[in-house]
Amino acid sequence: MASSLPAQASCLHDQRFTDGHFINARGQKLFYCAAFPPESVPLRGVALFLHGIGEHSLRFTHVYRHLCLNGYGVIAYDMLGHGQSE
């Protein structure tokens, strides 16, 4: 997992967090982030979080924190034309 958190993800300091980019099937670069509870907490499931129009994935880190505190991991990505995606 990433060692330093983006400013928008500072509320996840006690969770396992990573972010980066991937290339989709059309060759477009998309940003993603993932947060998981500490390994000491049993993982109950994983949610795929999709933001709305005009938003970006890092705007909702407070939601990811709530899910992590309840044993859920979260994977989110910025849709095309949003946030850090092309």
Q: Is residue 38 part of a domain?
A: yes
CA atoms in the 13 A half-sphere facing the CB of 27? 0
**What per-residue confidence (pLDDT) applies to 15?**
81
Whole-angstrom Cα distance, residue 18 to residue 41?
A: 18
Please name the amino acid found at residue 35.
A
Average pLDDT for 60-80:
94
What are the pLDDT digits (tens) for 12-65? 777 889 999 999 999 999 999 999 999 999 999 999 999 999 999 989 999 999
Q: Is residue 55 part of a domain?
A: yes
Q: Is residue 39 part of a domain?
A: yes
Least Cα distance to 63 among 5, 21, 9, 7 occurs for: 9
The number of folded domains in the chain is: 1
**What per-residue confidence (pLDDT) applies to 20?**
96
Domain of 36?
7-77
**What per-residue confidence (pLDDT) applies to 12?**
73
Q: Is residue 2 part of a domain?
A: no
Q: Is residue 43 part of a domain?
A: yes
Q: What is the pTM of this model?
A: 0.82
